[in-house]
Structure formats: structure tokens, C-alpha cells
Amino acid sequence: MSSIEPVARHRVARLVRGIRPLTWIGVGGTLLLGLIGLASGGVGGMLVMIALVVMITAIYGFVFRRHTWMRLPRKRSAGAIGAGVALVVMIASSAALGAGDTTSPTPVVAAVSTSSPATPSSSPQTPTPTPTPTPVVTTKLVKKTSSVPFTSSSVNDAALDKGIKQVTAAGVKGVRTTTFRVVMTDGHETSRTKISQKVTKAPVARVVHIGTYVAPAPAPAPAPAPAPAPAAPAVPAGGGATAQCNDGSLSYAAHHQGACSHHGGVAIFYK
């Protein structure tokens, strides 16, 4: 008896060590899903969840011909048998679970049916009035802007020539702001009232300078001064001459007649 126990323990240890981690994971996941099915649908729900896991694992081994956590042989016949058995268990469990669900509400239906004939005789039912929705009214301020035109003015400028125009200040439009009170009912505008209106930016006038300067006419040129009369030549020293001839010689004739007759005529008489 004592010699058999160590052998059995050794075989069990070898069997446990031979189980792969994937098998432990598969068994643990299947048990977890079975507990979830047990909590939600009882024994039938537990069987459905376990059969579903077994069927998916068997189909995987059938298609890819690989070992799974269930340690089924690689033959496709083993995978097909496992999937078929799991499918039958799942269908039977689902049918049992559905039958249990359909029979449970029967007492409640009977209780309702027995109490329904007394309702019309007790008191007439009055329709519940539909509450009238209260409109949502909101108020907000809306500002709108518009332009203010600028004015133009002209200034006479004597520093500019006549006919010339020069813009010294460009016109700029102003801004007028108008404030409205808008009432909204259920998101739609129902009234609009003007509260205020003011010029928030004054316009700048346009200024044009117009030249008025005219240059004066030039003064007339002065007339040339008359040439001075030739001065009489001085009488030479040791005088006595009565005239000077045109050739520069002197005439000592006692009478004007015949003086300088041979020297080109008389230029000037001295006596």
C-alpha cells in the first residue's frame, strides 16, 4: 500500500507538469464564462457559455489542424466531433433556457387578468390633460454700424498759382452705431426696439486748396537816354583862330566866308 502511493503521486505530478500553460488558460477562461452564464441564466446559461467556447476551439482545431487547449488530436475528425457535440449541447441548453423564460411570467398574467374586470366599474377614467409648453422668452442687445459721409470744403490759397487745386486733407467716413433691444421667443425674433444711436467715429472733412496767385506783368524797359552834345574843343594856346576845320586844322580867316575852304569845311567857329 505504501509502495503504490509514491508511484501514484509521481504519475499525478508528471500529468500536472505535462499540462501546458495554454490549457490552464483555456480551462480558466471557460470556467469564468461558465460562472457568468450561471449568474445571468442559471445552469442553462452556464452550459451555453461552456458549449460556445468548446465549439469555437474545436472549429479552430478543425480548420488549422493544430493542438488547442483541449488537447484534441490534430485529426479533423476529432475537431468535427468536438464542434458537433458542443453545438448539440448549446442548442439543447438554449431550448431549455427559453422554455424556462416563457413559463415564468404565467402567474403574473393570470393575476392581471383576474383584476382587470373590476377596473371599468370602479370609476370612469378621465383623460390626463397635456401640459401646455411655456414659451421661452429671452432678450438681448444687438449693435449695428453704418457709415457717416464726410463733407468737402475749398480754401483759396494765394501761395498756389491760379487754376491749381491741391487736396490737403483726404475725406474719411465716420461710423454710426445703433443699439437695438431684440426679444426672442422660442428662438425666433418677435420684436426689435431702437434704444440709442450715436456717432462712435467722427468723419474727417475733405479740404481742397485752390490757387489764386497771379504773377504781375513785367515793367516796361526804360527809354535810352539821349546822347550828350559834343563839347567844344578847347582853344589852343596862342589862339587867334576863328574856326576849326573838319580835318582838324585851324582857320584864321578874318571872315567866315571862305574859311576852311581847302580843309573839308568848317567844323566849328570860335568867333
> Domain coordinates of the chain in residue numbers?
4-104, 138-213, 241-271
Residues 218, 221: Cα–Cα separation, whole Å: 9
pLDDT at 59: 79
Please check whether residue 138 is in contact with residue 190, taking contact to mean a CB–CB distance below 8 angstroms: no
pLDDT at 167: 93
Q: Phi, psi at residue 179, to the nearest 5°?
A: -110, 130
Residues 88, 47: Cα–Cα separation, whole Å: 11
Tell me which residue of 103, 86, 26, 7 sits closest to 51, measured CA to CA.
86
pLDDT at 103: 47
Query: Which residues make beta-bridge pairs with 177?
Result: 145, 198
240 φ/ψ sector (left φ>0, alpha ψ -120 to 50, else beta):
left
pLDDT at 45: 73
Q: In this structure, which topology does domain 138-213 adopt according to CATH?
A: Resuscitation-promoting factor rpfb fold (2.20.230)
Q: Phi, psi at residue 257, to the nearest 5°?
A: -70, 125
Residues 175, 203: Cα–Cα separation, whole Å: 7
In the block, residue with C-alpha cell 508528471: 14
Residues 67, 79: Cα–Cα separation, whole Å: 10
Residues 50, 33: Cα–Cα separation, whole Å: 7
In the block, residue with C-alpha cell 465549439: 55
Residues 78, 88: Cα–Cα separation, whole Å: 16
Task: Give the β-pairing of 206-213 and 152-161.
Answer: parallel
Q: Using CA atoms of 39, 61, 96, 24 in order, give the dihedral in degrees to the nearest 10.
A: -30
In the block, residue with C-alpha cell 576845320: 245
Please check whether residue 249 is in contact with residue 263, taking contact to mean a CB–CB distance below 8 angstroms: yes
Give the amino acid at 112: V
Distance set, CA 244 to CA 12, 94, 233, 239, 240 (Å)? 183, 174, 9, 12, 11
Residues 48, 100: Cα–Cα separation, whole Å: 14
The structure's pTM equals 0.32
In the block, residue with C-alpha cell 574856326: 243
pLDDT tens for the 271 residues of the chain, in order: 445 566 566 665 565 565 667 676 767 777 777 778 677 767 777 777 777 777 777 777 677 766 676 666 666 666 677 677 777 777 776 776 666 554 444 444 444 444 455 455 555 677 787 888 899 999 999 999 999 999 999 999 988 898 899 999 999 999 999 999 999 999 899 999 999 999 999 999 999 999 999 988 888 888 787 777 666 555 554 367 778 888 878 877 777 777 787 777 777 877 7
pLDDT at 108: 45
238 φ/ψ sector (left φ>0, alpha ψ -120 to 50, else beta):
left
pLDDT at 184: 95
